[in-house]
Structure 1
Amino acid sequence: MAKKAKTEAEIAQFRDSVCAAATRLFIERGPQNVTMRQIASEVGVSPMTPYRYFRDKDEILAIVRAEAFNRFSEALENAVANAPDARSKGRAVGDAYVNFAKTFPSAYQLIFAFAQQDEEQYPELVTANARAQKAMVNYVEEMIAAGLLEGDAQLIGYMFWATLHGIVVLELASGLRGMNGQTLREKIMRTLYAGMKVHPPHLDD
């Protein structure tokens, strides 16, 4: 008797299960040390079953990284949208960034700890990556338009991004011994704003 074909909902559920299992293994072992056979074993299916739904391990990695990028971008976009005014956007993005990294460390690691060769082969990942880049620049453009900052929006956005990432990585690795991450962040941001000769937006709130 032929096996009943899976419904679309069942296929989606299985794909989600594979992606969740793969994410655990990627984080624990690093993508280079994970095989499709190991992913199948983690899900509890035969070694060839995942190949019915995914081309290979790299496709799975691209899918889970794209999902992580989109969650990250959504957090930043919501922070900007809910900020009461242009002056508040920088602080809102910084808070959302740090909160995301601490609340979803696995997603944050998928975004920044793992790179893939030939990422252009995965349009979903390319789009999600571009969305994150945009999220880290758009709010700066709004602050420039409001007269709160001066300079190149992308460069300023990346300066802030590099600062936040460095602090987050040190905090997650318990590297800020004797220093509060929030205090460090505010001091660095104040210095950056002063260097651009503008008034720091709500750093004392």
Structure 2
Amino acid sequence: MPRVLSDTDVADFRERLCEAAERLFAERGPDAVTMRQLAAELGVSPMTPYRYFEDKDDILAAVRANGFTRFAIALETARDGARGARAIGTAVGEAYVTFAVENPHAYKLMFDFNQPHAEKYPELVAAGQRAQKTMTGYIKDAMAEGLMEGDPEQIGLMNWAAIHGAVILELAGMLPPGGARMIFRGFDTALIRGLRPQD
């Protein structure tokens, strides 16, 4: 008779499976990874993962939602720990780069892969929206202090695209270690200067 799993058992196994999946998905691409390979990675029977997840897309959604949540928490913590719009902007950007270079597998899965039928995974959608919100929050801080003007959503996306591009170049080895951080610092200064209200 199979052992009855506690909520803790289920959570622990899901976490272990997601950790293995994050690495394998990022290294090989989700299409190249099978449920059998994930089971073998954890030393369990091929059918065991199906007790915890519906299928591979379900695992990918859980991995990506976890990544977006950790990412959002890192940015929110940076924003909450700084005082003044300039310091907040710097802290959030630095936290962004740090998260990406310290969690390259998660970062790649968050942004390099589409999620089939994303509407089936409300936790993933919510986590992605939370992460995006952090990229406009500190822009609004700067506007509230009169440091810049414009559409905060558009400026936030512009800033996000610039940081993301620099991070991807560094992760691909096309920038030296620390290159993304250097580019962020230059862009951050230029953004404030360029969007400062005109006298």
2:138 is matched with: 139
Supply the distance in 2 between the matched residues of 1:111 and 1:88 (Cα, whole angstroms).
27
2:108 is matched with: 109
2:150 is matched with: 151
| Residues 148 and 11 (structure 1), Cα distance of their counterparts in 2 relative to 1, 3 Å cut | same
Supply the distance in 1 between the matched residues of 2:23 and 2:184 (Cα, whole angstroms).
30
What TM-score, normalized to structure 2?
Answer: 0.92
Aligned: 1:163 with 2:162:
yes
1:50-99 CA-to-partner distances (Å, cap 9, x unmatched) read: 11111000000000100000000011101111112122111111111111
Q: Which runs of 5+ in 1 are unaligned?
A: 200-205
How many residue pairs match? The answer is 198
Considering only CA atoms, is the larger Rg found in Structure 1 or Structure 2? 1
SS at match of 2:174: coil
**2:150 aligned partner, one-letter code:** G
Percent identity between the two aligned chains? 51
**1:138 aligned partner, one-letter code:** G
* 1:42-81 matched pairs, under 5 angstroms: 42-81=41-80
- Contact 2:57–2:116 (CA under 8 A) maintained in structure 1: no
1:203 is matched with: none
Deviates more, 1:95-104 or 1:3-12: 3-12
Supply the distance in 2 between the matched residues of 1:3 and 1:117 (Cα, whole angstroms).
33
Supply the distance in 2 between the matched residues of 1:190 and 1:135 (Cα, whole angstroms).
19
Structure 1 runs (4+) greater than 6 angstroms displaced: none
Supply the distance in 2 between the matched residues of 1:183 and 1:106 (Cα, whole angstroms).
22
Q: Which runs of 5+ in 2 are unaligned?
A: none
SS at match of 2:71: helix
What TM-score, normalized to structure 1?
Answer: 0.89
Deviates more, 1:133-142 or 1:3-12: 3-12
